[in-house]
Amino acid sequence: MVAAVLDVVLIVAFAAIGRASHSESHPVLESAVVAWPFLVGAAAGWAVAVGVRRWAPASLRAGVPIWVGAVVIGMVLRALTGRGVAVSFVIVATIVLGVFLMGWRVMVAGWQRRMRS
């Protein structure tokens, strides 16, 4: 449960940071509009990684389909709803979501390794 909440918070933070950089008049509303496709994509990744494959939610193995789902499904949903999918945005979203969704998992894996030794 903690892993899911952390993923949601980080995806919303990604959207909020992006909206803040564009000086939106309604940053909270615009952040929600930006975040929802990526949240749906991450949920699909969660369904595969944790629901079907039964991987530990905080594992690197689970993080990959969650990250890929967030980016790929998120971009498809953005395109289907008339939102922008410019190449530069796809690149930035892929990198930032990768750092966010995989980064904390890398730290957990390192901490677990240290605790075992």
Cα separation, 32 vs 85, in Å, equals 17
pLDDT digits (tens, 9 = 90+) for 12-61: 999 999 888 876 667 788 889 999 999 999 999 999 999 999 999 999 99
- The stretches of the chain forming alpha helices (DSSP H) are 2-21, 27-46, 60-80, 87-116
Indicate the DSSP class of residue 50: I
**CA–CA–CA angle 28, 65, 110 (5° rounding):** 90
Which amino acid makes up residue 52? V
pTM: 0.93
Domain boundaries, the chain: 2-116
Q: Please, what is the angle between helix 87-116 and helix 60-80, to 10°?
A: 160
